[in-house]
Amino acid sequence: MAAIADSKNSLDKEGKNASRMMKTLGVVFKKLCKEIKIEFIDAKPNSEEKAREWQRKINNIEIWDMRYLKNYINKFTQYYYKIEHNEINLGMFYDTFRYHINSIINEKYSAWLAKQV
């Protein structure tokens, strides 16, 4: 009888631990979802100061070596989408590339944009 009671207590403790862990994982998951939503969905400037900060960061991004193009694009888009669509910033993006490349990109973008309207 004592062995049965001990195993029942052991199972109760394991069950409580598993339950606690599931609640903790649930809390962590909810926090993660909230952070993702803030970063990618609610990332609208909540003040002029924040928008100016993001604009300054876009203005200061430089690319010296085309091998780092992916890093440049990632940094640019991080702030570009927080500020919202802006033709000036988009022009700055195109101007980063050599003339032949930026003209091709701009033509493709203009054609795509025309189809969206």
Tokens of 21: 């862990």
Tokens of 1: 């009888």
Residue 45: the pLDDT is: 47
Residue 65: the pLDDT is: 75
pLDDT tier for residue 88 given thresholds of 50, 70 and 90: confident
Q: How many CA atoms lie within 13 A of 114 on its CB side?
A: 6
- Secondary element (H or E) of residue 61: none
Distance separating the N- and C-terminal Cα atoms of the chain: 78
pTM: 0.44
pLDDT tens digits, one per residue of 17-76 = 777 777 787 787 888 877 777 666 665 546 778 888 888 888 887 777 778 788 888 888
pLDDT tier for residue 5 given thresholds of 50, 70 and 90: low
Residue 58: Cβ within 10 Å count: 20
